[in-house]
């Protein structure tokens, strides 16, 4: 018997490490994001490629991603899946950067109005103009967060290629830049 450590790396891909005994710095089960999850398992390299193993959904057992395949077939399947997963992660990162730049483009025009809004609110003895700017910014951030959530739900290259990266026209039509008076 040995211990397998399942840990998600920076690309969101699950890495598997083998330890002959449970490390003294770990506990069986959940160890947090930095250390992952440890489970005792009877690993057999003659029938299993280590990276083809994953935790069951309830984290109570180890299962093969590619049941019925030889270790060489498992290695090839894993390599193909890894290539696709890296491509998805890279494209998601690019799209997410674009989404973030678009929200900055949406908010920039109201940033220029902020000084005028403060001055007029001071003269009028209220905060009406700054409230308008705050409401607009909050709507822009909410639209940005919605787009990021929709992006996060995409799991294939096909879904990402169909993803609408520019949400600003619809936002602008529903949320005109506030008039400062």
Specify the 3-state DSSP secondary structure of 88: helix
Tell me: the pLDDT tens digits for 117-147?
999 989 999 999 999 999 999 999 999 999 9
Residue 167 has pLDDT above 90, yes or no: no
Tell me: the pLDDT tens digits for 31-70?
776 788 899 999 999 999 999 998 888 888 999 999 999 9
In this prediction the pTM is 0.64
Identify the pLDDT of residue 84. Answer: 86
Beta bridge partners of 91: none
Residue 11 has pLDDT above 80, yes or no: no
């Amino acid at each position: 018997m040995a211990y397998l450590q399942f840990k998600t790396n920076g690309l969101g891909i699950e890495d598997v490490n083998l330890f002959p005994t449970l490390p003294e710095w770990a506990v069986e089960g959940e160890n947090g994001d930095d250390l992952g999850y440890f489970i005792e398992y009877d690993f057999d390299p003659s029938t299993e490629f280590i990276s083809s193993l994953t935790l069951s959904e309830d984290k109570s057992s180890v299962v093969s991603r590619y049941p019925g395949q030889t270790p060489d077939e498992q290695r090839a399947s894993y390599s193909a899946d890894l290539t696709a997963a890296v491509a998805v992660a890279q494209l998601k990162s690019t799209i997410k950067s674009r989404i973030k730049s678009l929200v900055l483009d949406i908010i920039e025009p109201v940033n220029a109005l902020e000084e005028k809004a403060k001055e007029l609110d001071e003269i009028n003895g209220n905060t009406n103009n700054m409230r308008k700017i705050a409401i607009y910014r909050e709507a822009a951030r909410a639209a940005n967060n919605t787009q990021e959530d929709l992006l996060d739900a995409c799991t294939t290259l096909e879904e990402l290629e169909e993803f609408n990266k520019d949400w600003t026209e619809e936002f602008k039509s529903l949320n005109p830049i506030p008039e400062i008076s």
